[in-house]
Amino acid sequence: MRKTISTYWPVAMLVPIALAGYLHTVGADQPSAAPHEQMTVAEVSAEFARAISLGFVDADGDWQPAGSMPAVAAAPRVL
């Protein structure tokens, strides 16, 4: 088994790289995504209201940045 792994590891490295290169080449001739039209104020308000009603956004506006630490850090466990 050790002989097999040491023999074929370059193939395991080259196959994903070759696949990524092929997909990059194939995707180069396709047009990129069309630019989106800007949403109106009514559409933005409707989407925001929908997000609040589904619970994705707090209605009270009390927010914290993503990845923020809690105000009180947990004490280390004593064994």
- The answer to the question of residue 1 being in a domain is yes
- The answer to the question of residue 22 being in a domain is yes
Q: How far is CA 52 from CA 33, 41, 44, 78, in A?
A: 29, 16, 12, 42
- The answer to the question of residue 47 being in a domain is no
Q: Find all residues with CB under 8 Å of 59, minimum gap 6, and list them.
A: 52
The confidence score (pLDDT) of residue 18 equals 95
- Counted domains in the chain: 1
Provide the pLDDT confidence category of residue 59 given band limits of 50, 70 and 90. Answer: low
Q: With 80 as the cut, is the pLDDT of residue 68 above it?
A: no
Rounded to 5°, the CA angle 34-39-41 comes to: 175
Give the residue with greater pLDDT, 63 vs 18: 18
Q: How far is CA 8 from CA 13, 46, 75, in A?
A: 9, 56, 49
The 10s digit of each residue's pLDDT in 3-49 is 777 788 888 899 999 999 998 888 766 666 666 788 899 998 998 88
Return the closest-CA partner of residue 58 out of 46, 45, 69, 48. 48
Domain extent for 14: 1-28
- The answer to the question of residue 69 being in a domain is no
- The answer to the question of residue 50 being in a domain is no
The confidence score (pLDDT) of residue 66 equals 65
